[in-house]
Amino acid sequence: MSSRRLFNPCLPAILAAALLCALLPQGRAQSIEELEKLARRSRNYNEQYKLGMLYFNGDVPDKDTEDAVSMFKKAARENVDAQLMLGFCYAMGEGTKRDEKEAAEWYEKAAIQGSHAAMYRLAACYEKGLGVDKDPGAAYRWYRRLADETDLPEADFKVAAAYYTGGGINKDYAAAAKWFRKGAEKGHSLCQMYLGDCYRLGQGGPRDNAEAYKWLYLAAELGNEAAVKRRDRLETVYKISASDKAEGLKRAEQFQTASN
């Protein structure tokens, strides 16, 4: 399985588990022995990566994450997934000394080759200044590429937030609302909450209390406590009409029905 299709931000545990699912379709011990034999050859980068994942997961007796890192280094000459895993190991101090600069360099190598998981992590490095100088513009560009190439709502949120705050790009409420909507329609509660705010405040479009109530209600239903407070304030502070509330609730229920 390629990391180009695995871009969940909860990468560490999911990546380690998901990439192993199809590695050993037949006799486990024999397959490991065959992988180790193949991995000894200098150009068998895919086998080296697969073996490194087995070591990383603790599936081979007497092998650990240090052995995994050694194997990833061999595979990383050509294997993008190994580059991604090296970045993770350096970032987390798994099997090697923690080195955020080295992690960012490996994430960039993998991201340039199209790894969506690496794009997300590299963008986060630029956003937070982990191993690189903090650079909101670079963070935006990688989040934007990720959002354009995938259906990951978290990437939609990051792009929307950049437009909303002017982080790395000119502030643009219309663009922010557009990207918040993309994520909101995929069920991302923060996108739903901020889209509700946009409608309440008239940011990026006309004010619409019914639409604001709809999105804040949906975000609250997903357990977003901040959205619960915002939704309730529509009634207690902003005094929306009963008809706007009823219409917003109707639209929210229609959205939930269509999403199921």
Q: What per-residue confidence (pLDDT) applies to 60?
A: 92
Asked if the structure places residue 254 within a domain, the reply is no
Distance CA 89, CA 80 (A): 14
- pTM, whole model, 2 decimals? 0.85
pLDDT at residue 32 tops 90: no
Mean pLDDT of 206-227: 98
| pLDDT band at residue 38 under the 50/70/90 scheme | confident
Whether the predicted pLDDT of 10 surpasses 60: no
pLDDT digits (tens, 9 = 90+) for 226-242: 999 999 999 999 999 99
- CATH of residue 30's domain is 1.25.40.10
The residue-averaged pLDDT of 184-207 equals 98
Residue 228 placed within a domain: no
d(CA 165, CA 155): 15
74 located within any domain: yes
Question: Average of pLDDT values for 34-56?
Answer: 86
- Check pLDDT > 60 for residue 258: yes
Residue 9's pLDDT is what? 39
- Domain extent for 78: 1-110
Whether residue 41 is contained in a domain is answered as yes
Q: Which of 89, 158, 90 is nearest to 119 (CA)?
A: 158
Spatial separation of the C-alpha atoms in residues 227 and 34, rounded to whole Å:
54
Q: Which two tokens stand for residue 110?
A: 């993998």
Q: Residue 119 domain-assigned?
A: no
Q: Which residue intervals of the chain are DSSP H helices? A: 11-18, 28-39, 45-56, 65-75, 80-92, 100-112, 116-128, 136-149, 153-165, 173-185, 189-201, 209-221, 225-236, 242-259
CB atoms within 10 A of CB 165: 12
The residue among 225, 166, 163, 231 whose CA lies nearest residue 196 is 231
Residue 157 lies in a domain: no
The pLDDT of residue 36: 82
pLDDT of the residue at 42: 66
What is the number of structural domains in the chain? 1
